[in-house]
């Protein structure tokens, strides 16, 4: 029950992470391509035509990728393509050597970019493949036209390994930290929003979780059926058998609720012996049928071990909420119907 809305809150967190990746994608696409165009223009008259081709070509592909993303809104695909383009650019630049053989200096920002685009696991694999490819190119010099000194190549590989490890440690523990905080927050939310005795949702859950979600996304809820339930003569039961027995009855009825409502429904304890069932996408007839079914089961179930002949009954009031703005009015109507059921003799459903 409550976990459904907690999952909705997690989706909000995922949206924030998606926005972070979107910003990284935009930065690489726009800023990096701009830098590539600037250096491409500077080297357009160079004897080695391959360098401006690499710069202009990769920069143009970066822009094409971000434009396709703006049209398709497929972030995962855009980040994957961007990572491939980054790998292509790094290998091409090292292959060619860059301006005055400075290609190796331009490689170091890209491991962090890959972690930002792909996430920890995929980025680690991609960086390992990139590192392996660079090592092959540098230690088998006959494969590439660029010439790098042995000491320069060794220091570059060692430095790149350190950069990748630091990026991995940072992102790995950042991700673990977020997961731990999410679990802690979920645990705190469940505890704060759960009635300790019955393990049903409480009033705080309605105010802090249900109502904001109902206002934000009413289409997920309305028409919303509200069923108020009150155990008949509960004070008399407590006085006669003691509060421990009363608590057992509350827990037994709570379990009965859980057996008779759907996964998307909510059962809440809102008072001593008062409960509220919240049924999304439920019409008036179906809500009356649910209330009647539960009423019959309550009256038929033997809840007192001390007295098998004692019959626990409950009264129900039903109302329908057609919009988020009507919730308070519908709740008052359900409460009014509950008192109508009690005034009519109890152990009834009114609506």
Among 8-17, 160-169, 339-348, the least confident range: 8-17
pTM > 0.85: no
Predicted confidence (pLDDT) per residue in 31-83, tens digit: 888 988 988 888 887 667 888 888 899 999 999 999 999 999 899 999 999 99
Crossing angle of helices 234-241 and 243-260, rounded to 10° = 130
Predicted confidence (pLDDT) per residue in 126-183, tens digit: 999 999 999 999 888 788 888 888 888 889 999 999 999 998 888 887 776 655 545 5
Residue 265: strand pairing partners: none
Q: Across the chain, what does the average pLDDT equal?
A: 86
Among 190-194, 226-230, 258-262, the least confident range: 190-194
What residue spans in the chain does CATH classification 3.30.70.270 cover? 203-350
Q: What is the 3-state secondary structure (H, E, C) of 49-93?
A: CHHHHHHHHHHHHHHHHHHHHHHHCCHHHHHHHHHHHHHHHHHHH
CATH node for 203-350: 3.30.70.270
Residue 106 pLDDT: 86
Of the residues 47, 175, 186, 273, only one is catalytic, namely 273
Whole-number Cα distances in Å, 314 to 202, 204, 220, 264, 268: 19, 24, 29, 23, 15
Distance CA 66, CA 263 (A): 40
Whether 273 is catalytic is yes
Residue 350: strand pairing partners: 317
- Compute the average pLDDT of residues 301-319: 87
If we measure between CA atoms, which residue out of 214, 106, 31 comes closest to residue 205? 214
Residue 192 pLDDT: 57
What tokens appear for 71 in the block?
């049209």
Residue 317: strand pairing partners: 228, 350
pLDDT range class, residue 262, cuts 50, 70, 90: confident
């Amino acid at each position: 029950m409550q976990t459904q809305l907690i999952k909705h809150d997690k989706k909000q967190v995922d949206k924030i992470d998606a926005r972070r990746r979107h910003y990284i994608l935009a930065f690489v696409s726009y800023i990096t391509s701009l830098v590539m165009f600037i250096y491409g223009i500077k080297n357009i008259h160079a004897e080695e035509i391959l360098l401006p081709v690499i710069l202009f070509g990769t920069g143009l592909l970066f822009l094409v990728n971000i434009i396709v993303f703006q049209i398709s809104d497929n972030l995962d695909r855009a980040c994957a393509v961007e990572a491939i383009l980054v790998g292509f650019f790094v290998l091409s630049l090292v292959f060619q050597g860059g301006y005055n053989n400075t290609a190796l200096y331009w490689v170091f920002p890209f491991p962090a970019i890959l972690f930002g685009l792909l996430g920890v696991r995929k980025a680690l694999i991609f960086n390992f493949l990139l590192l392996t490819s660079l090592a092959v190119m540098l230690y088998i010099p006959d494969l590439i036209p660029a010439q790098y000194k042995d000491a320069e190549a060794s220091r570059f590989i060692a430095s790149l390994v350190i950069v990748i490890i630091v990026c991995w440690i940072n992102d790995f523990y950042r991700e673990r930290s977020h997961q731990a905080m999410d679990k802690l927050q979920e645990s705190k939310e469940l505890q704060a929003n759960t009635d300790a005795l019955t393990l049903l949702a409480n009033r705080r859950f309605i105010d802090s979780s249900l109502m904001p979600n109902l206002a934000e996304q009413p289409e997920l809820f309305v028409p919303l059926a509200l069923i108020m339930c009150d155990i008949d003569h509960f004070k008399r039961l407590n006085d006669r058998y003691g509060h421990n027995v009363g608590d057992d009855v509350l827990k037994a009825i709570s379990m009965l609720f859980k057996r008779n409502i759907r996964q998307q429904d909510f059962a809440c304890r809102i008072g001593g012996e008062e409960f509220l069932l919240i049924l999304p996408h439920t019409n008036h007839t179906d809500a009356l049928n649910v209330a009647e079914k539960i009423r019959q089961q309550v009256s038929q179930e033997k809840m007192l071990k001390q007295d098998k002949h004692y019959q626990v009954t409950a009264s129900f009031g039903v109302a329908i909420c057609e919009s988020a703005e009507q919730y308070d009015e519908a709740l008052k109507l359900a409460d009014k119907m509950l008192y109508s059921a009690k005034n009519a003799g109890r152990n009834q459903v009114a609506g």
